[in-house]
Amino acid sequence: MADIDTQSTDPNIQRTCPNDIAQYFHDLADPRSHVNRLHPLSSVLVIAIMAILAGAKGPTSIARWAKTKADFLGTCLPLPHGVPRKDVFRIVLSRLNPKVFQACFATWLQSLKLKGLENCNIQRPIFGVDGKTNRRSHDHANGLGALHSVTIGASERGLTLAQVACAEKSNEITAIPEVLQLIDITGAIITIDAMGCQKAIAKQIIAGKADYLLALKGNQEKLYHAVMDHITKQLENDCADVDARQHSVTEKMHGHRETRIYTQMPVPKDLPMRADWEGLKTIGTAVRHYKKDGNEYCDIRYYISSLKMGVKEFARAARQHWGTENGQHWILDMTFREDESRIRGKEVRENFAWLNRLALSLLKQHPEDASIALKRQSCGWDDNYLLQVLTGIVA
């Protein structure tokens, strides 16, 4: 890879230019024909990441951003023929194998995750598995439904670590085992919503030397009602017959005060199908009380878990997954406008979904106390700020 002389006067930026990130794509197979390889693949991909951080939403806006930043990009990336045009970005992102493309980020994101966990003094990381549909990404004319993908991320750091697109006419149940295989889950707590509450998935997590916290709903009807009835009975009796633990948290959330009460207790010996769930040790519930617009609301969720008794750890895992489901989806739809995207094509829409999550992960790592929307605007306004977000090093 060519050496680049960075012109910035900031010594911190000189040693952390985008060319350092480009090394992660050095061994990625170029999907273009040899005739059209005027621009290094690594430069094309790093420019795409930078443009999305700055607000781009597709190949046209990526190319437009690159054109306006041509002088800046020329100081930190090899661009022997200038900045690429939109067709280059479109061809590359529509032909790259999504799984291979994502694999290039594995080491980079793993290092960010480990560094973040060290800074937060977290002993056991929480990896949240979550599904999301990009509602307008369908192409009915070519028989392509909306993209539904499953991701796994380090919840407390806001890092998306891997993504798998659900196959057509399939669902999360088949994608979750795939995404769990893409990263090392040893020692982690895996949180999954009710769709992933499956015996085989629980067994896979235990085999991976991790613990699980699985939400319960009607898809496991017999187990759901048995857990709900047992917890209700014990709470009505003030938990006189079980070694139950409770933890309560009250805080201000989005303009209203919210109280969350977590209850954890050992799994009863007579719980139906108890032996079918590998590693099952505890059950619990999370109740959320809040007032909004003068009205009072209450949400309740039930869980099964391989975690031993320890209600604060149970509460931490349940809270992180609840926050991931709501916070990340809202940001991707409102700030990245992902739900409005009309990017079509099986590979290109999956690659853009991954780049959006990568950009969100990087923006969350920047220490400035600002909204994701404002950080993204700052990336578009300030080249130094953009490099800080991209490289994770703040002067």
How much is the average pLDDT of 355-375?
A: 90
pLDDT of residue 101: 82
**Which residues does 395 contact at the CB level (< 8 Å), separation at least 6?**
10, 12, 13, 384, 388
Has residue 12 got a pLDDT over 70?
no
* pLDDT over 50 (residue 311): yes
Predicted confidence band at 395 (pLDDT cuts at 50, 70, 90)?
A: low
Confidence bin at 16 (pLDDT 50/70/90): very low
∠ at Cα 293 (290, 295), nearest 5°? 55
pLDDT of residue 153: 84
Other residues' Cβ atoms within 10 Å of the Cβ of residue 49: 20
pLDDT-wise least confident of 76-85, 130-139, 252-261: 130-139
pTM for this structure?
0.80
- Using the predicted structure, report yes or no on whether residue 10 has a pLDDT greater than 60: no
- Confidence bin at 351 (pLDDT 50/70/90): confident
pLDDT value of residue 107: 65
Q: How do residues 42-87 score in pLDDT, each as one tens digit?
A: 899 999 999 999 999 889 999 999 999 999 999 889 999 999 999 9
Specify whether the backbone of 273 is left (phi greater than 0), alpha (psi in -120 to 50) or beta: left
Burial environment of residue 323 by CB neighbours within 10 A (0 to 12, 13 to 18, 19 or more): middle
Please choose, from the candidates 110, 113, 114, 149, the residue with its C-alpha nearest in 3D space to the C-alpha of residue 24: 110
Q: How high does pLDDT run on average in the chain? A: 83
Q: What is the dihedral of CA 176, 160, 218, 224, to 10 degrees?
A: 90
Sign of CA dihedral 306, 310, 311, 314: negative
How far lies 348's CA from each of 118, 162, 262, in Å? 35, 17, 42
Q: Please compute the mean of the pLDDT values over residues 1-24 and round it to a whole number.
A: 50
| Rounded mean pLDDT, 19-32 | 78
393, 363 Cβ separation under 8 angstroms: no
How far apart (Å, rounded) are the C-alpha atoms in residues 26 and 17?
Answer: 16
pLDDT average, residue stretch 174-188: 91
Structure tokens at 132: 């999301």
* Integer Cα distance of 210 and 202 in angstroms: 10
- Which pLDDT band holds residue 1 (cuts at 50, 70, 90)? very low
| Tens-digit pLDDT profile for residues 208-236 | 999 999 999 888 999 999 999 999 999 99
* Cα 360 from Cα 158, distance rounded (Å): 8
Domains and CATH numbers, the chain: 11-96+369-391 (no CATH), 106-334 (3.90.350)
Given a cut of 70, whether residue 36 has pLDDT beyond it is yes
Write down the pLDDT at residue 326.
Answer: 60
Residue 142 — very low, low, confident or very high, per pLDDT cuts 50/70/90? Answer: low
| DSSP-derived 3-state class of residue 186 | coil
In this predicted structure, what is the pLDDT of residue 15? 40
Angle subtended by helix axes 41-53 and 59-68, to nearest 10:
90
Which pLDDT belongs to residue 334? 73
Work out the number of other CB atoms within 10 angstroms of the CB of residue 78: 15
Q: How far apart are CA 290 and CA 148, in angstroms?
A: 31
Question: What does residue 138 show for φ and ψ, rounded to 5 degrees?
Answer: -75, 160
Q: Is the pLDDT of residue 283 over 50?
A: yes
The two tokens of residue 140 are 């009915």
pLDDT at residue number 138: 47
Q: How confident is the model at residue 2 (pLDDT cuts 50, 70, 90)?
A: very low
